[in-house]
Chain A
């Protein structure tokens, strides 16, 4: 029987009693100063220890979640190439474009179907994040479809069209609108879509915006189009860039049947420029837009660019929409920088956009902040007859549609043709159009430049109600030509 287990080298201290020195066995040489303190462990109470542990853990886990979110967003970041081909959904047996065709182009930022008159938005100083419920989005979309049906444009530039976003309740607005328009018109439109906002989950504010898939949508009545997406410079850097738009130009090219057989395209450029940057982003993007437009003009193409510039043209009345207080402020595009081949059009008679700082419904309309930031830039080989912003009272969107009437090419066909086409007639509110039709008839036999000149002179001398900007721009051009 072995009794070794009871033989201790030294005795265990009993609880409550003071310290007992180990019997002769010490580490090192003698007592160290302060060794008494070493033995008296100032342990925290177990509860206190646990609490500290939990606090540390929660803090570290929180940081981990942030890092995890950053990682997830970086992994799923939408990174389009500088230039990408876009598939066009060609409508069945859609016609082509012929030189001399008169076409109606509409541009409309539809506010992803959720920025109707009930909405204010936190980014503009308002309070809401979720601005419309499912039914309201459908109602807004229906309102938009009705306007399109009544206007019956040949080309539609749309911005902020959601395909699958939390903010619009995952409704595919592209498909919804396409179907509605097909129903109302009986014939489908051709369409092309380019993403400019694709984020798996935007984690701010509270409640978070969540998933966004949105972009530019161009409808046309024509077939045979090719489309491409041109990435615009993004002013934001990582990680802010992760939750932001990757803005672009949606460029659609439709071949134009020319009399003399030359190869020319109708180039339709749908755009939505930077909104919430300090100004440099807008400038950079406008610069690239200009380069793209110049390139097309040099080929002799007919170019119509339209959309939401988030800036006002310098040839439009700035004062009318001056910003008071700390509402969001648009930038200014210097139209002389765009180039001699182009003219810039905005209709300042009606605002194209409203502030989202407060809801529109029930607000004091007199004291409300409006903007004029949607318009067109058109190459001079396209004859612009009118640019008009339609006043819809901001019921279904925070933007109004802007409508451009124009002719592809310098002159129209014979008199019979112009008599047949009732479009550009006296029924139009704009008397200017009337005058231009008349003047065209009388000058049809003259050479193109001369006729243009006299047309414009006639237009100019007649002091009619017309868009201020057009007039100023045309007289500017005129003076240049005459020089």
Chain B
């Protein structure tokens, strides 16, 4: 067998293993935190594999890939700041809306300090000394942290995206629709109408029409419950009233899932359930469902793209409010810093 083919196979094996792990993990449970990690690992490992297809030009292609990734990372703070400005303009001033702006500034500062601390000494000194001065160590820690958080967040964002595109069943018995705040106390906002439209789409595509379960209680500044507003919208769109089961006691996403679950399980027959919410929210909603032992399929409704950065940041933060996830994140952070410092520090052998 030619050397070219051998090399490709060598890079393909770890690549296939990584994707295999992801698929097994997702088949077992789509809502697990580890899936984000596996997806990130699989994507990272795929890059050298794709480069190896270039044969003799492998080195050059890999270098270009690294340069592209570096440029992407540098471009990110700028993109986030721009997005932050758009959010403030369109959605008004609130803490939730300046998230992406803040994140952009934070990452921007991190990138600049990394370059200042790490690259300048290399460029200035004639010979890259094997042992590291404090400034360079600090820059390594900063740089590794940025890289780590970027990979972690990127993996999370991409996994959220992956959940949208993977095929899913069509034949549901129940479709829970996740409610949100109302406009003027009683009208359905765009965010919610997008979800309802998605639910209707699922309803129409289903071979046997499912029950729709609009879920959401009545907030202090609302005149009717979210469930009622949603029901009215659905009826207005032509859904028969006997196919709508309201759940109007919940005030949080968790309660949405819990209460809807109870309603559904109290009924006879099959319980294949879909949960419709905004696409960035699917992952978290599924986690709540899973924690209650409720097996359902997450379906994401369309959301204006400019909304994604701040929404994803919020979701990312919320996911890490679970202690186990936070622990994994922090451990991963420490491990990656330790490994980078050791490796670059030149001791190489980890136990020596």
What's the minimum C-beta distance from B128 to chain A, rounded to whole angstroms? 14
- Known contacts A5-B218, A209-B349; can you find 14 more A-B pairs with CB under 8 A? A4-B224, A5-B228, A8-B246, A26-B268, A27-B173, A28-B269, A32-B270, A41-B293, A46-B293, A53-B29, A64-B21, A67-B21, A71-B45, A71-B48
Question: Within the assembled complex, what's the spacing in Å between the Cα atoms of A26 and B266?
Answer: 12
- When distances are taken between beta carbons in the complex, the residues of chain A under 8 Å from B95 are none
- When distances are taken between beta carbons in the complex, the residues of chain A under 8 Å from B352 are 130, 166-167, 169-170, 210
- When distances are taken between beta carbons in the complex, the residues of chain A under 8 Å from B224 are 2, 4-5
B268 closest partner in A (C-beta)? A35
The winner among A25, A27, A35 for most chain B CB atoms within 10 A is: A27
Q: Is B38 an interface residue (CB 8 A)?
A: yes
Known: A8-B246, A70-B13. A208 touches B266 (CB 8 A): no
Interface positions, chain B 7-30, Cβ under 8 Å from A, are: 9-11, 13-15, 17-18, 21, 24-25, 28-29
A60 touches B24 (CB 8 A): yes
What's the minimum C-beta distance from B226 to chain A, rounded to whole angstroms? 10
Question: Within the assembled complex, what's the spacing in Å between the Cα atoms of A32 and B208?
Answer: 15
B346 closest partner in A (C-beta)? A170
B293 touches A74 (CB 8 A): no
A41 touches B14 (CB 8 A): no
Q: Which residue from A13, A35, A56 sits with its C-beta under 8 Å from B266?
A: A13
Q: Write the residues of chain B forming the contact surface with A, with a CB cutoff of 8 angstroms.
A: 6, 9-11, 13-15, 17-18, 21, 24-25, 28-29, 32, 34, 37-38, 41, 45, 48, 173, 208, 210-211, 217-218, 223-225, 227-228, 242, 244-246, 248, 262-263, 265-271, 291, 293, 346-352
Question: Within the assembled complex, what's the spacing in Å between the Cα atoms of A208 and B352?
Answer: 9
Question: Within the assembled complex, what's the spacing in Å between the Cα atoms of A35 and B268?
Answer: 7
The winner among A12, A32, A64 for most chain B CB atoms within 10 A is: A64
What's the minimum C-beta distance from A344 to chain B, rounded to whole angstroms? 34
- When distances are taken between beta carbons in the complex, the residues of chain B under 8 Å from A10 are 245, 267
- When distances are taken between beta carbons in the complex, the residues of chain A under 8 Å from B173 are 27
Known: A32-B269, A41-B265. A5 touches B349 (CB 8 A): no
Q: Is A407 an interface residue (CB 8 A)?
A: no
Known: A12-B263, A74-B10. A67 touches B18 (CB 8 A): yes
What's the minimum C-beta distance from A203 to chain B, rounded to whole angstroms? 9
What's the minimum C-beta distance from A60 to chain B, rounded to whole angstroms? 5
Q: Write the residues of chain A forming the contact surface with B, with a CB cutoff of 8 angstroms.
A: 2, 4-5, 8-10, 12-13, 19-22, 25-28, 31-32, 35, 38-39, 41, 43-44, 46, 49, 53, 56-57, 60-61, 63-64, 66-68, 70-71, 74-75, 130, 164-167, 169-170, 200-201, 207-211, 238-239
Q: 9 shortest A-B CB distances, which residue pairs? A: A210-B349, A166-B349, A211-B348, A67-B17, A71-B14, A166-B352, A43-B293, A67-B14, A13-B266
Provide 5 A-B residue pairs closer than 8 Å at the C-beta atoms, listed in order of the A residue: A4-B225, A13-B266, A38-B270, A74-B48, A166-B349
Question: Within the assembled complex, what's the spacing in Å between the Cα atoms of A2 and B218?
Answer: 12
B349 touches A208 (CB 8 A): yes
- When distances are taken between beta carbons in the complex, the residues of chain B under 8 Å from A63 are 17, 21
Known: A27-B208, A238-B6, A238-B10. A56 touches B348 (CB 8 A): no
- When distances are taken between beta carbons in the complex, the residues of chain B under 8 Å from A57 are 32, 34
What's the minimum C-beta distance from B202 to chain A, rounded to whole angstroms? 15
- When distances are taken between beta carbons in the complex, the residues of chain A under 8 Å from B11 are 71, 74
Question: Within the assembled complex, what's the spacing in Å between the Cα atoms of A63 and B266?
Answer: 41
What's the minimum C-beta distance from A205 to chain B, rounded to whole angstroms? 11
B38 touches A60 (CB 8 A): yes
Question: Within the assembled complex, what's the spacing in Å between the Cα atoms of A210 and B351?
Answer: 8
What's the minimum C-beta distance from B32 to chain A, rounded to whole angstroms? 7
Q: Which residue from B21, B208, B267 sits with its C-beta under 8 Å from A22?
A: B267
A13 closest partner in B (C-beta)? B266
Question: Within the assembled complex, what's the spacing in Å between the Cα atoms of A25 and B173?
Answer: 12
- When distances are taken between beta carbons in the complex, the residues of chain B under 8 Å from A130 are 352
Question: Within the assembled complex, what's the spacing in Å between the Cα atoms of A25 and B213?
Answer: 14
- When distances are taken between beta carbons in the complex, the residues of chain A under 8 Å from B10 are 74, 238-239
Question: Within the assembled complex, what's the spacing in Å between the Cα atoms of A53 and B21?
Answer: 15
- When distances are taken between beta carbons in the complex, the residues of chain B under 8 Å from A67 are 14, 17-18, 21, 41, 45
